[in-house]
């Protein structure tokens, strides 16, 4: 999907406008049609707000049709993450199917969640919270999630000076408080923890001369809600600096386990470390 410029969308015919935005909301060209009347837009945020307002102003039938236009969760999960069905563990696949079936049989429409904002664990946890709700509440929640999905699609589609606030960031920083300097060359691994399936390595990297990683551990996208473990190979680092320690070293690979709760937030998880002590905190 090649990127569109806002000025082109402001200037083109209504049909071209609707066509350009056809993939933002599933099978629902009426949203772009209604938003088109708001042109010209000064920015992407204003464009998106217009589409969101069109959804908000629509009657219940149209909103329900929008919800029903969405595919089942399991398929969506695969598609979002670029996964084939095989890459879900059996237990996960079954859990997702169970979720979707239970939900659909209660509400008559599919379970919708913006999967790019979640890990697999948190999708299932989210479902457990939502299943007891009544239909009205779930229609509201489904529309909210649909708009979150749409926001991410708009962000990807549009080239513009302003950006939608749909990207979070997860970063780290290692400070060697034994030597009083940033800790360079420390191997760092970020793993997404899973209860049903296998833990999944998100990224492996090495700290630079500033004790940071050249790029955020996660950036340019939502940081999926879920549990994570960061591991820092400090044993190798101090051994490489000829720092006297015990044998085996008291600290070798240090795990920091934490949860992400705000996918669009900036979360900084630093490590202050000596061969004999360490500390971490939620920074920003």
Angle formed by the axes of helices 90-107 and 73-80, nearest 10°: 130
Give, as one character, the DSSP assignment of residue 44. H
Q: Is 131 helix (H, G, I), strand (E, B) or coil?
A: coil
User: Which of 43-51, 153-161, 213-221, 251-259 is the region at the interface with a second copy (rule: CB under 8 A)?
Assistant: 251-259
User: Which of 69-77, 179-187, 199-207, 213-221 is the region at the interface with a second copy (rule: CB under 8 A)?
Assistant: 179-187
Number of residues in contact with a second copy under rule CB under 8 A:
41
By CB under 8 A, tell whether 272 contacts a second copy. Answer: yes
Q: Is the dihedral of CA 29, 32, 37, 40 positive or negative?
A: negative
Known catalytic residue at 70? yes
Of 3, 105, 242, 284, the one binding a second copy by CB under 8 A: 284
Could you give the CA distance from residue 267 to residue 11 in angstroms, rounded to a whole number? Answer: 39
H or E element at residue 259:
strand 253-260
By CB under 8 A, tell whether 208 contacts a second copy. Answer: no
List 70, 118, 167, 178, catalytic entry:
70
Binders in 85-124 for a second copy, by CB under 8 A: 122
By CB under 8 A, tell whether 142 contacts a second copy. Answer: no
- The minimum distance between CB 258 and a second copy, in angstroms, equals 5
Could you give the CA distance from residue 139 to residue 51 in angstroms, rounded to a whole number? Answer: 18
Of 84, 180, 214, 242, the one binding a second copy by CB under 8 A: 180
Tell me the H-state helices in 37-169: 44-57, 60-68, 73-80, 90-107, 120-130, 135-157
Could you give the CA distance from residue 109 to residue 13 in angstroms, rounded to a whole number? Answer: 34
By CB under 8 A, tell whether 276 contacts a second copy. Answer: yes
List the catalytic residues: 70
Q: Which residues bind a second copy (CB under 8 A)?
A: 122, 125, 175, 177-182, 210, 225-227, 245-255, 257-259, 261-262, 272, 274-284
């Amino acid at each position: 999907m090649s990127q569109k410029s806002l000025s082109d969308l402001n200037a083109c015919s209504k049909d071209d406008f609707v066509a350009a935005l056809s993939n933002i909301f599933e099978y629902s060209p009426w949203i772009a049609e209604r938003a088109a009347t708001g042109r010209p837009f000064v920015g992407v945020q204003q464009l998106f707000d217009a589409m969101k307002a069109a959804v908000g102003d629509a009657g219940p039938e149209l909103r329900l049709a929008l919800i029903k236009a969405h595919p089942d969760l399991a398929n969506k999960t695969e598609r979002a993450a670029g996964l084939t069905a095989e890459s879900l563990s059996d237990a996960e696949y079954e859990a997702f199917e169970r979720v979707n079936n239970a939900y659909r049989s209660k509400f008559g429409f599919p379970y919708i969640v913006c999967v790019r904002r979640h890990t697999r664990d948190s999708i299932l946890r989210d479902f457990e919270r939502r299943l007891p709700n009544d239909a009205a509440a779930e229609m509201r929640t489904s529309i909210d999630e649909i708009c979150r999905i749409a926001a991410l699609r708009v962000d990807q589609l549009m080239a513009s000076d302003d950006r939608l606030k749909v990207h979070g960031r997860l970063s780290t920083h290692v400070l060697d408080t034994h030597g009083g300097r940033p800790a360079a060359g420390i191997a760092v691994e970020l793993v997404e923890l899973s209860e049903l399936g296998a833990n999944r390595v998100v990224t492996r990297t090495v700290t630079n001369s500033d004790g940071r990683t050249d790029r955020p551990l996660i950036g340019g996208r939502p940081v999926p809600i879920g549990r994570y473990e960061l591991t820092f190979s400090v044993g190798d680092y101090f051994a490489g600096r000829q720092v006297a320690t015990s044998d085996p070293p008291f600290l070798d690979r240090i795990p920091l386990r934490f949860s992400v709760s705000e996918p669009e937030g900036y979360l900084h998880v630093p490590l202050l470390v000596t061969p004999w002590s360490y500390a971490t905190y939620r920074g920003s």
